[in-house]
Amino acid sequence: MKILLQTAGGDGAAWIDAARQALPEARIDGWSAASAPDADYALVWKPPPELVQGLKRVKAIFNLGAGVDSMPDLATLPRGVPLVRLDDAGMAEQMVEYVCHTVLRRYREFDAYVEQQREALWRQRPRLSKREFVIGVLGAGVLGAAVASALVRADFPVRVWSRTQKSIAGVTSFAGSEELDAFLSMTHVLVCLLPLTRETANLIDREHLSRLPRGAYVVNVARGALVVDADLLALLDDGHLAGATLDVFRDEPLPPEHPFWHHPRVVLTPHVSAVTRVEESVAQIAGKIRRLEAGLPITGVVDRQQGY
């Protein structure tokens, strides 16, 4: 069995070493144009088009991440070959930590206390009502469902919105474009965990952000291209939105001249909400390859029409 492994960053050696330990029965090589035609499986991240075009006999293509928007046009992938994304591989736990920290920081008004400290001002702020502090999670996949469930356990009222109706204990589900406005109108902290597709690109624009209650807060930990930057900035500046925590951006690294860097109502982090863990990811992929070799079904197969 021959496996081709390609990454866009400088961590290719770590992925290859982990894959060789997890799949000692396989020959695992880094990508070259000569190696692609003979590969039985391809493990890739942001692959160049010529790599995909060179795959002649692969049984499956594994994307080294949860979102497949980094792949070339899905229509160009070999027909009949499953494209498989990571189910979790340690990302859900990280995402829960990041989002819960952000929500609690907002709910307990720590940023306001930071400002009071700068002014040497001793003032206890009235506690906000948790029952009225509604969290809305856009996207109810593996990561969105994990975040929603964790916030329910912290006794927050939680709603999710997704393409289809979801059943998550303690969570109110909204589905489809006809229910999006109702979902937004009751959301005080909007957490974006949608996949990036043709339908979701630029979804978080002025129109939809304006549907949020005045003083709402936005958290984007999904993909930068879901948010229209200029619209978000405009609603922050006019006071309709109280603030935003952003971990993902249209251009990464975020250019130093971008206004997000120095905006007083924006907290940003450099795409660290849920990093891909090499060993956990490789272990998951190895298990799926063995199932495929045994003729068994696997999870995480991407619906090319939906884009996730």
Where does residue 307 rank: exposed (0-12), middle (13-18), buried (19+ CB within 10 A)?
A: middle
User: Rounded to whole angstroms, how far apart are CA atoms 274 and 12?
Assistant: 19
Whether 223 is catalytic: yes
Res 11 pLDDT > 90: no
CATH of span 2-89+277-293: 3.40.50.720
Write down the residue that tokens 């979701």 correspond to. 200
Candidates 3.40.50.970, 3.40.50.720, 1.10.10.10, 3.40.50.1970; correct CATH number of 91-268? Answer: 3.40.50.720
- Per DSSP, the three-state class of 270 is coil
Res 33 pLDDT > 80: no
Q: Contact, 242 vs 266, CB < 8 A?
A: no
**77 — pLDDT class (breaks 50, 70, 90):** confident
Let me know if the fold of 2-89+277-293 is the same as that of 91-268: yes
Res 36 pLDDT > 80: yes
Q: Contact, 205 vs 182, CB < 8 A?
A: no
**Tell me, what's the pLDDT at 81?**
95
**Tell me, what's the pLDDT at 307?**
86
Q: Where are the domains of the chain?
A: 2-89+277-293, 91-268
Res 32 pLDDT > 90: no
**65 — pLDDT class (breaks 50, 70, 90):** confident
Q: Contact, 284 vs 305, CB < 8 A?
A: no
49/245: higher pLDDT? 245
Res 10 pLDDT > 80: no
Mean pLDDT of 89-117: 97
Q: Taking each helix axis as running N to C, give the angle between helix 142-153 and helix 91-107, from 0 to 180 degrees, rounded to the nearest 10.
A: 40
pLDDT tens figures, 193-246: 999 999 999 999 999 999 999 999 999 999 999 999 999 999 999 999 999 999
**Tell me, what's the pLDDT at 207?**
98
**76 — pLDDT class (breaks 50, 70, 90):** confident
**Tell me, what's the pLDDT at 217?**
98
Whether 271 is catalytic: yes
Pairing relation of β-strands 158-162 and 135-138?
A: parallel
Instruction: Detail the DSSP E strand segments found in 122-274.
Output: 135-138, 158-162, 171-175, 189-192, 216-220, 241-246, 266-268
Res 4 pLDDT > 80: yes
**Tell me, what's the pLDDT at 35?**
80
Catalytic residue among 85, 208, 223, 277: 223
Res 117 pLDDT > 90: yes
Mean pLDDT of 46-65: 93
pLDDT tens figures, 253-302: 999 999 999 999 999 999 999 999 999 999 999 999 999 999 999 999 99
Catalytic residue among 27, 105, 250, 271: 271
Q: What is the pTM of this model?
A: 0.93
